[in-house]
A and B are shown apart, each in its own frame.
Chain A
Amino acid sequence: MAGKPARPANAIDQTRRMLSLVTYLRERPGARVEDVARAFGITEDELVSDLDVLPMCGTSFRGGDLLDIDTDGEHIWWHNPAALGEDAAEPLRLAADEATALLVAARAVATLPGLRESDRQALLRATAKVENAAGEAAGASSRLSVTFESEGGVFADVDRAISERRRLWIRYYSPARDEVTEREIDPIRLVSVGHTYVEAWCRRSEARRTFRLDRVAEIKILDEPSEPPEVELRDLSEGLVQPAAEDPEVVVEVGPGGRWVAEYYPHDSADELPDGGLRITLRTPDPASLRRLALRLGHDGRIVSPPDLADSARRAAREALAAYDGPDRVEDGPYDRREQGL
């Protein structure tokens, strides 16, 4: 099963979980550690640490019974389930935060255009039931909302190719080079982090690549089987773009109006400048791809290094300006894309 986010142990989460655990275990004498951990979405180690705490807990005051719960590592036994009283182990109502977290996520997933219709219907039914059971606690969930972006038609084709294990042909736009290329890819999984991406094995580059669905210009499902090599799935929670240590360094200085660069580009450092701007150091396997950024920044910033990247942006700007100097001057300028390192 794919990545479970690792979270530090937290007394609130653990208490919440143990309260549900006693209800759950009461109904299931001899429950298996493995099954309970899976049902609760936790590791067996986390479950065992809960089972260490529970025997120190009890309902009564002035020396009453503690919960006599133990495990042999495989099964869990509760020797005095009556210790909680007849009705003291009923399922608890949802807290406002719990209802919000679950309902907002469920509504967001239901907006995914590529979701299978039967799954969407199941999710909508479940959402309505949870809203109902949560009662007032569901109220605050309207103050938070998430929209996933994805291109419906492309999504559906990728999803189908993955489930039928078939290769895809795509025409894909690469903004770094401002070009559309054709390639065959073996899709591995779809990821939605703001935009929706397909992670795939690219047959052209023989490497793992991530493609943003809204940049797919055209898509076809091929008859060939998809055979991606066994690759370890990365944890994408830190972002899809994870520059390598050996990638060349680029330094960009921006004024206040260019601070957005630090929001959009993963970077190693962003140091404040006295004028309210930033000096941003980032790494990219292909510095030439940042010429677009240099052009876009205009008055708001400039590339400090590497110098040839700065030069290429200046040349491109002069070349472009030539077209505005007089009528039809543009054809005169022999503009060679290769010269820009593109």
Chain B
Amino acid sequence: MAIAKAERLMNLALCLLGTRRPLSKRELRESIEAYVEAFGPGRGAAFGPGRGAASGPEKAAAGSDDSFNRMFERDKDDLRELGLVIETVENLDGEVGYLARRDSNRLPPITLDAEEAAALGLAAKVWQQARLAGAASGALQKLRAAGLPEDVDPYEVHGALEPRIPVHEAAFEPLMLACRDRRPVVFDYRKATAARPEPRHVEPWALECWRGHWYLAGWDRDRGAERVFRLSRITGKVRSRGGSFTAEVPDVVTVRETVAGWAGEITDRSARIRLRTGAGYPLRAKATAVRELGDGWDELEIPYGHGLDAWLVEFGPDVVVLEPAELRADVVDRLRAVAKG
């Protein structure tokens, strides 16, 4: 059976952290059992402490050198994802060596009290996305190893509160990485009212979760303007593009304001409606003025933003739009469509 990847990565990490001088690729290949087992030792190498019968010098062909090199590069990348700073050093003979210096990999001193520790413990549990949940636990584990107090159950401290950050969108992880690394991307995006998705070339700036949905803000290269995208409308894969950003990334990215505008929460106009007594609580909660008409109806003044027509139609015959005429026409139009059904 092949040696588990975690064991291989752990050995590579410990070798790189434990050495005082750069280790060559050949030395690492000979000293890590998983490499020896999978690829045999490199040319002219001595054996490490053998564990399996599967290894042997006959296997060390040129082909296995290539596969070893590929695996070694991937393993180094994985360790870098874990935060390990691995230096590449060339010695006098031109041979490349690797090491992870203690001083560049050490966590700076950090002292947290029991309350702070419990608060972080709660925060580390909120991600429902595997990669971030793993990373948050990993951060907490590193802090534990550094002496983070551990005798308090976070749920004791915070009582009954269970915040959760939902991530259901497949586009989340590739976009998160693209934002992190400032890599341009391309994806197919279906606008709310469009029949077909269209490819969009975007320089991704930031992701924001609002009311349980994720949004991306970035520079839309096709339109030459800043745009906000809803992740659930991205269809298919998010693909990375080479090159770097062409537009300047603003200091403050305002996803929330844009989305609130879509949601009709930014308004400068108002509408007047009649509402049946007892009905439409949310309309009443938003109303700036309510007047009882006394005949089973009330008259309300409500903010008129994007999407108000669709919302009013939901209340069926319990709402009558008085003004403006434009809103009245939109509502009648929608009602006619349903009545024809």
Residues of chain A lying within 8 A (CB to CB) of residue B31: 60-64
Could you say which of A70-78, A113-121, A201-209, A280-288 contacts chain B? A113-121
A294 CB, min distance to chain B CBs, angstroms: 7
Residues of chain A lying within 8 A (CB to CB) of residue B333: 298
Interface check A79, CB cutoff 8 A = no
Interface check A84, CB cutoff 8 A = yes
Do B161 and A192 have beta carbons less than 8 Å apart?
yes
Q: A90-B106, A257-B192 are in contact. Are A333 and B313 (CB under 8 A)?
A: no
Do A193 and B102 have beta carbons less than 8 Å apart?
no
Do B207 and A190 have beta carbons less than 8 Å apart?
no
Residues of chain A lying within 8 A (CB to CB) of residue B145: 20-21, 23-24, 91-92
B30 CB, min distance to chain A CBs, angstroms: 7
Do B164 and A126 have beta carbons less than 8 Å apart?
no
Do A11 and B335 have beta carbons less than 8 Å apart?
no
Do B166 and A193 have beta carbons less than 8 Å apart?
yes
Do A132 and B108 have beta carbons less than 8 Å apart?
yes
Do A90 and B160 have beta carbons less than 8 Å apart?
no
Interface check A159, CB cutoff 8 A = yes
Do A7 and B108 have beta carbons less than 8 Å apart?
no
Q: A40-B141, A296-B313 are in contact. Are A53 and B120 (CB under 8 A)?
A: no
- Digitize A159-196: 1 where CB-to-B-CB distance is under 8 Å, 0 elsewhere: 10011000000000101001110000001111111110
A61 CB, min distance to chain B CBs, angstroms: 3
Main SS at interface, chain A: helix
Do B206 and A105 have beta carbons less than 8 Å apart?
no
Q: A98-B83, A114-B161, A298-B333 are in contact. Are A276 and B195 (CB under 8 A)?
A: yes
Do A162 and B159 have beta carbons less than 8 Å apart?
yes
Do A217 and B281 have beta carbons less than 8 Å apart?
yes
Interface check B310, CB cutoff 8 A = yes
Q: A92-B84, A178-B279 are in contact. Are A109 and B295 (CB under 8 A)?
A: no
Residues of chain A lying within 8 A (CB to CB) of residue B120: 102, 106, 123, 126, 130
Q: A108-B126, A147-B209 are in contact. Are A100 and B135 (CB under 8 A)?
A: yes
Total of A-B residue pairs, C-beta within 8 Å: 421
Residues of chain B lying within 8 A (CB to CB) of residue A119: 115, 119, 157-158
Do A188 and B206 have beta carbons less than 8 Å apart?
no
- Digitize A135-155: 1 where CB-to-B-CB distance is under 8 Å, 0 elsewhere: 101001011111111000000
- Digitize A9-53: 1 where CB-to-B-CB distance is under 8 Å, 0 elsewhere: 011111111111101100000000000001111100000000001
Give the complex CA separation of A62 and B180 in angstroms: 39
Interface check B90, CB cutoff 8 A = no
- Digitize A81-98: 1 where CB-to-B-CB distance is under 8 Å, 0 elsewhere: 000110110111111111
Residues of chain A lying within 8 A (CB to CB) of residue B131: 97
Interface check A291, CB cutoff 8 A = yes
Do B212 and A195 have beta carbons less than 8 Å apart?
yes
Give the complex CA separation of A129 and B6 in angstroms: 30
Do A5 and B339 have beta carbons less than 8 Å apart?
no
Residues of chain B lying within 8 A (CB to CB) of residue A61: 15, 19, 23, 27-28, 30-32, 48
Interface check A295, CB cutoff 8 A = yes
Residues of chain B lying within 8 A (CB to CB) of residue A125: 116
Within 8 A of A (CB), among B121-141: 121-128, 130-141
Within 8 A of A (CB), among B209-264: 209-213, 232-233, 255-256
Interface check A335, CB cutoff 8 A = yes
Give the complex CA separation of A257 and B194 in angstroms: 7
A342 CB, min distance to chain B CBs, angstroms: 10
Could you say which of B53-61, B65-73, B298-306, B316-324 contacts chain A? B316-324
Give the complex CA separation of A191 and B162 in angstroms: 5
Do A12 and B78 have beta carbons less than 8 Å apart?
yes
Residues of chain B lying within 8 A (CB to CB) of residue A7: 130, 133-134
What would 16 more interface pairs be, CB under 8 Å, given A13-B138, A320-B317, A324-B332?
A: A18-B10, A39-B150, A93-B142, A126-B112, A142-B206, A145-B206, A147-B209, A159-B160, A163-B159, A180-B281, A191-B164, A257-B193, A291-B316, A292-B315, A296-B313, A330-B317
Give B contacts to A, CB under 8 Å: 3-7, 9-11, 13-15, 17-19, 23, 27-28, 30-33, 46, 48-49, 78-79, 81-85, 102, 104-113, 115-128, 130-146, 150, 153, 155, 157-166, 176, 179-180, 190, 192-196, 205-213, 232-233, 255-256, 274, 278-282, 285, 295-296, 310-311, 313-320, 328, 332-339, 341
Give A contacts to B, CB under 8 Å: 1-2, 4-5, 7-8, 10-21, 23-24, 38-42, 53-54, 56-64, 84-85, 87-88, 90-102, 104-106, 108-109, 112, 114-116, 118-119, 122-123, 125-126, 129-130, 132-133, 135, 137, 140, 142-149, 159, 162-163, 173, 175, 178-180, 187-195, 215, 217, 236-237, 255-257, 259-260, 263, 275-277, 291-299, 302, 310, 313-314, 316-324, 330-331, 333, 335
